[in-house]
Structure 1
């Protein structure tokens, strides 16, 4: 039996029996899909209901739900790119790109300092594009730096919260409510709902004014919506999400308590991703039946980036076995390093 500690199903929704039952009930009511434009003169009330729920849960005035996280990003990007100068933060996902931009290679803090200065020195409207966090090298970003932008500068901020929505914030509301509200800064948050929330869809969060503008986009009009039955499950699953979030946080606290603050492991509180600073950890764990996220990034020809991703479905026994195997791998890595130094 192999144990899997990778992927992005942080709340274990794809295999949650209660959620699956809600999906089946939704499909029985609405069918498998609804292949018509949201601007059609005939529509289903579940779409508006789901968007109202998403906005309320995330602390926004309004939202749009589309068929994927990619589409949510492109709907916003294509609506704004002609009237703003785009400034990309490091490690922005290709779904947020238009053309072939070159996101800078630097820390988020360095980008913030550079960007604030750049915006304040310019009079043209700018569109800032960033992530809410870094899930590869675990770090959750703050946005108080927006207060440093001069009040007469016109700014639109787009934040990708795909790895935060559902698991960060007090009740999994994500980043939207943590971003300062400033009169000169329009804030839009987009996210894939296919990760923690387990729904094949994408969401756009913003003020009613912004969302109403985006509903006029040809991209919105021309795209089919997500499965209405699955959206009905999302609407009715708030208690399930909260239950699984508490399980995830319990698992994260339990696991980080086992591994402690030993050298070679990087993580932050209440976020279920642990970076193992050993390129060979995945090779060590695989024969033990433990599969972690292990791939080369950002250079596909470089050394593997090894991360443990926890979810709410992992048992305490599985987590204890994982911790013991990781600690053993770290000890083995130290011994190998010492042997290499001795032989050199």
Structure 2
């Protein structure tokens, strides 16, 4: 006769261990700190868990809304269709509006408000909608850092002059339609724009009074143009593959880094340094032709306190190329 003590218990008698909830007892500030470390899309999904989590998502201090994260890290290289880009941009607009609408004015500081979206040549609504939402947030909340990263459908090596003209027209409409948003920006990245007005870069700097970083990729103005750059807050300027004529850094008391990569120069160096007392890092990279004038760094950097200098030159003579 079998020993009853050795009988195996039935499944119905086995008690399933309760999962221990270690998150709920945590105070709100700890949970918000955790959510701030997640991607925005992941953090936003927690709002459906309960009323408490919905309130927590409205207290995030870092709002990084990137249309690329909705489908792929780099939509252009992923081969997405126009419909995909439209959907991604629309999702970025809705995410920006929804997360800002749930916040109580002045209750919690937004330490970073960053939006990345595509500037399409057939859609004005996306940038304008995002710009108005960001401008409204700046008016009703304390926003420490605000960023716009404005991408285009085509990468810069694929853009034609006609593409750049179309993108520039859309950006100008965005810029003129959202002065409140641009006036509070601390970081701005633009690409693939051909500015019809020779002083438009100066207009950007004059409007974006709090700008700390300005990055331009494959942007153009007329080659005869001289840009006298003056700004009280700008700390970093990056110009890559740009055709801007001559750039004179006339008065930039807080500039610490300047990057000039693959600029177009006919003969004279299209760059000069004026009042840049804090400048400590400079990157210069270009294709050097045999008929270009010699660049004397001692003259170019005279009066600056540069401590880090990076040079990248492709020297071309008699059809041969050598990187220095």
- Do the structures match in fold with TM over 0.5? no
Structure 2 length-normalised TM: 0.28
Tell which structure's C-alpha radius of gyration is larger: 2
Q: Where is the helix percentage greater, Structure 1 or Structure 2?
A: 1
Higher RCO, Cα 8 Å, sep 6+? 1
Q: Where is the strand percentage greater, Structure 1 or Structure 2?
A: 2
Structure 1 length-normalised TM: 0.27
